[in-house]
Chains A and B, each alone.
Chain A
Amino acid sequence: MDSKTIYARLNKVFRDVFDDDSIKVTPKTTADDIDDWDSLEHITLIAAVEREFKMKFKMGEISSMKNVGEMASIIAQRAK
């Protein structure tokens, strides 16, 4: 899956989860850039991304991901 498709699909998930159509994610996007992105919403986000790409993050990955770029590169390796 090319990175353009991944970002397009990620963007849609982010907009749904945070109910905000103005969101545009980039590799550098972090929780600080999105108002509602706290530790609780993070759980919902992870679950929604997993469903979108039909893959699972490992526990270590969830705690070490620093930005959307790192998330996207894991997806690129594993998504169907």
Chain B
Amino acid sequence: MVELEYPFDNEYVMKKRKSLRRTLLADGTKRLKKKIAVFGGSTTNDIVVYLELFLLNNGIEPEFYQSEYARYWQDAMFPSEELLDFQPDIVFIHTTSRNITAYPTAADSKEAVSGLLEAEYQKFEQMWQKISDTYHCPIIQNNFEMPFYRIMGNKDCCDYRGRSNFVNRLNEKFYEYAEKTEGFYINDIHFISASYGLKEWSNPLYWNMYKYAMCVEAIPEFSLNLANIIKSVFGKNKKALALDLDNTLWGGVVGDDGVEGIQIGQETGVSQSYYEFQSYIKSLKQLGIILTVCSKNDHENAIAGLNHPEGALKPDDFIIIKANWENKDRNIIETAAELNILPDSIVFVDDNPAERAIVNAQIAGISTPVMDSVENYITTIDRNGYFEVTNFSEDDLKRNEMYKANAERAAQQASFTDYNEYLLSLDMTAVIDDFIPIYLQRITQLSNKSNQFNVTTKRYTPTEMEEVFHSGNYIRLYGKLIDKFGDNGVVSVVIGKKDGDTLHMDLWIMSCRVLKRDMEFAMLDRLTERCKEQGIHTIKGYYYPTAKNKMVKDLYQTFGFEKIEEDNEGNTVWQLNVDSYENKNHVIKVEDNSSIQ
């Protein structure tokens, strides 16, 4: 909903909050239901009102528990029946500088202040531990905003007796805890209050009259910032940017003005602003955000503009470049399909309001922030928190490379008429062998993530996978695939349980990243080889249909198994005679664990 995208019209949102809520709830979107417990050190009613709006707008329907006024600590440490029954999915602790119980005074010694700091901190850490032990759910904790006055003036920030100094030191301790604790997130009101304007934010009227720790007008912005963390934790982040070019990534129109005529670089204030924006986008790429272009331009003009020597972005930074005269919504739908992501996980960045309106009307759930003037571009994208980072992994760092390699494979495939020849041209090497400890985590993760190429949809907890790993009753295989465009990592897992001279297949999964590469045949070849070594003559395969695994309904048939049972629900049982099996993979070179250890 455009009304709730930053920079939203605060006055409008505050005035129309009830009707906005009604509209969102009636729009037919299917939302995740989540329970949020709010432990407040000040009034939280309005915070919850706007938080609900921004979460609804991000595909989450919250249910709230609010502690009695300022009873955050008591509620956390001694939960009521009501709270225990509520079973929150996430806990938010809304404390502010107003809740610091003992600030240093001018008479305190350095040691005394350190003691105060530790005592204040311990109160919080104790509470976090208790919440974590009780609910096993993520925790969001405010840091502290700066106090709105400075007893010691400028020295307040660097003298151990200063309140500002005390707040900063306390914040540092919170960050240390956040850094080492999974599922613990800081809601950065230190930044948001500064960005809003500390003087207005901390207007004492709101504390003294209503016990709000911030002015009422700042609450929507506060709530948006908080909603961003929550929706990120629950997997509702955006994944890709579809960027317009003319007057979005540079000033001017490259088709009319020529490459030398567009504004980008260090020459003027305007060109510097576009350069800064390009640099910002480039930093997003490093976080694993996928960059694509969606521009009405001739392709060669677009490429020429992106190759401008003064630009921060180059054509190579984009996974897909759609520069043509098609409607933009169609280009975006195609982009999404090519990347195998949903259109609503794209943010469309375009200075032209007409283009934004069309895209917004045609693609449900897509974000189309208002890009009104280049100096505001960064803040607009940034504050909307589309890509809010709550967890950052190796995979995120590599994501662009992976998508890029996929796009290159697709391009290469188009140039081959014979598919087998294409597969051979990929120079594929696989490592297929028994599990080894370094991959156990990835193997478990894959067993819990794979939905489509998964015949039994059996899930394993880390402990269960550990048991399978250490047991002599199984034949286990993992498969890792490398080709000339890159390393795909561990992409397939097979687990069979031994029963005399028969092997019962508990699990056969593969990542859809490597569909149609004959990887499944390479896995089967290795499996039958291991069976022969261990005196197993028969393999029994099982297929249990789900809403998502139709793709592998006939997997065992293509493997050459014979169907021996089928029930009314479509569950099937298959059988293979190992002794007469002949290898099926002829395109992947297969190695074993010795090649990587």
Chain A contact residues, CB within 8 Å of chain B: 13, 16-19, 40, 43-44, 47-48, 51, 59, 62-63
Q: Are A44 and B216 in contact (CB under 8 A)?
A: yes
User: Known: A44-B216, A47-B216, A47-B217. Contact between A59 and B15, CB under 8 A?
Assistant: no
- Alpha-carbon distance A51/B46, docked complex (angstroms): 17
Tell me the minimal C-beta distance from B37 to chain A in angstroms: 19
Among B17, B18, B45, the residue within 8 A (CB) of A40 is: B45
**CB contact list, B182-241 vs A, under 8 A:** 205, 208-210, 212, 216-217
Q: Are A62 and B15 in contact (CB under 8 A)?
A: no
User: Known: A19-B19, A40-B45, A40-B46. Contact between A59 and B14, CB under 8 A?
Assistant: no
Q: Are A48 and B14 in contact (CB under 8 A)?
A: yes
Task: Name, among B16, B19, B216, the residue most crowded by chain A CB atoms within 10 Å (CB to CB).
Answer: B216
Those 8 A-B pairs whose CB atoms lie nearest each other, nearest first: A19-B18, A16-B15, A47-B216, A40-B45, A51-B11, A59-B205, A43-B210, A48-B15
Q: Are A59 and B217 in contact (CB under 8 A)?
A: no
Which residue of chain B lies nearest to A20 when distances are taken between CB atoms in the complex?
A: B18
Which residue of chain B lies nearest to A39 when distances are taken between CB atoms in the complex?
A: B210
Q: Are A44 and B209 in contact (CB under 8 A)?
A: no
- Alpha-carbon distance A19/B43, docked complex (angstroms): 23
- Alpha-carbon distance A59/B207, docked complex (angstroms): 11
Which residue of chain B lies nearest to A46 when distances are taken between CB atoms in the complex?
A: B216
Chain B residues near A16: list those with CB within 8 A: 15-16
Total interface residues on B, CB under 8 Å, equals: 18
Chain A residues near B45: list those with CB within 8 A: 40
Which residue of chain B lies nearest to A13 when distances are taken between CB atoms in the complex?
A: B15
Chain B residues near A18: list those with CB within 8 A: 18
Chain B residues near A44: list those with CB within 8 A: 14, 17, 46, 216
- Alpha-carbon distance A51/B11, docked complex (angstroms): 7
- Alpha-carbon distance A62/B17, docked complex (angstroms): 22
Chain A residues near B18: list those with CB within 8 A: 18-19
Tell me the minimal C-beta distance from A3 to chain B in angstroms: 23
- Alpha-carbon distance A31/B22, docked complex (angstroms): 24
20 pairs from A and B in contact (CB 8 Å cutoff): A13-B15, A16-B15, A16-B16, A19-B18, A19-B19, A19-B22, A40-B45, A40-B46, A44-B14, A44-B17, A44-B46, A44-B216, A47-B14, A47-B216, A47-B217, A51-B11, A51-B14, A51-B15, A59-B205, A62-B209
Chain B residues near A63: list those with CB within 8 A: 209
Which residue of chain B lies nearest to A59 when distances are taken between CB atoms in the complex?
A: B205
- Alpha-carbon distance A16/B19, docked complex (angstroms): 8
Chain A residues near B216: list those with CB within 8 A: 43-44, 47
Chain B residues near A43: list those with CB within 8 A: 46, 210, 212, 216
Chain B residues near A19: list those with CB within 8 A: 18-19, 22
Chain A residues near B19: list those with CB within 8 A: 19
Which residue of chain A lies nearest to B17 when distances are taken between CB atoms in the complex?
A: A44
Which residue of chain B lies nearest to A58 when distances are taken between CB atoms in the complex?
A: B205
User: Residue-by-residue, is B38-69 near A (CB-CB < 8 Å gives 1, otherwise 0)?
Assistant: 00000101100000000000000000000000
Which residue of chain B lies nearest to A12 when distances are taken between CB atoms in the complex?
A: B15
Tell me the minimal C-beta distance from A72 to chain B in angstroms: 19
Chain B residues near A40: list those with CB within 8 A: 43, 45-46
Chain B residues near A17: list those with CB within 8 A: 15
Tell me the minimal C-beta distance from A54 to chain B in angstroms: 11
Which residue of chain B lies nearest to A17 when distances are taken between CB atoms in the complex?
A: B15
- Alpha-carbon distance A59/B22, docked complex (angstroms): 33
**CB contact list, B1-49 vs A, under 8 A:** 11, 14-19, 22, 43, 45-46
Chain A residues near B209: list those with CB within 8 A: 59, 62-63
Chain A residues near B11: list those with CB within 8 A: 51
- Alpha-carbon distance A48/B17, docked complex (angstroms): 12
Tell me the minimal C-beta distance from A7 to chain B in angstroms: 18
User: Known: A40-B45, A44-B14. Contact between A59 and B210, CB under 8 A?
Assistant: no
Chain B residues near A48: list those with CB within 8 A: 14-15
- Alpha-carbon distance A59/B209, docked complex (angstroms): 7
Task: Name, among A40, A44, A63, the residue most crowded by chain B CB atoms within 10 Å (CB to CB).
Answer: A44
Q: Are B208 and A59 in contact (CB under 8 A)?
A: yes
Which residue of chain A lies nearest to B10 when distances are taken between CB atoms in the complex?
A: A51
Which residue of chain A lies nearest to B212 when distances are taken between CB atoms in the complex?
A: A43
Chain B residues near A51: list those with CB within 8 A: 11, 14-15
Q: What 19 additional pairs, Cβ within 8 angstroms, besides A43-B210, A44-B14, A59-B205? A: A13-B15, A16-B16, A18-B18, A19-B19, A40-B43, A40-B45, A43-B46, A43-B216, A44-B46, A44-B216, A47-B217, A48-B14, A48-B15, A51-B11, A51-B15, A59-B208, A59-B209, A62-B209, A63-B209
- Alpha-carbon distance A12/B22, docked complex (angstroms): 19
- Alpha-carbon distance A51/B13, docked complex (angstroms): 12
Tell me the minimal C-beta distance from B24 to chain A in angstroms: 14
Tell me the minimal C-beta distance from B11 to chain A in angstroms: 5
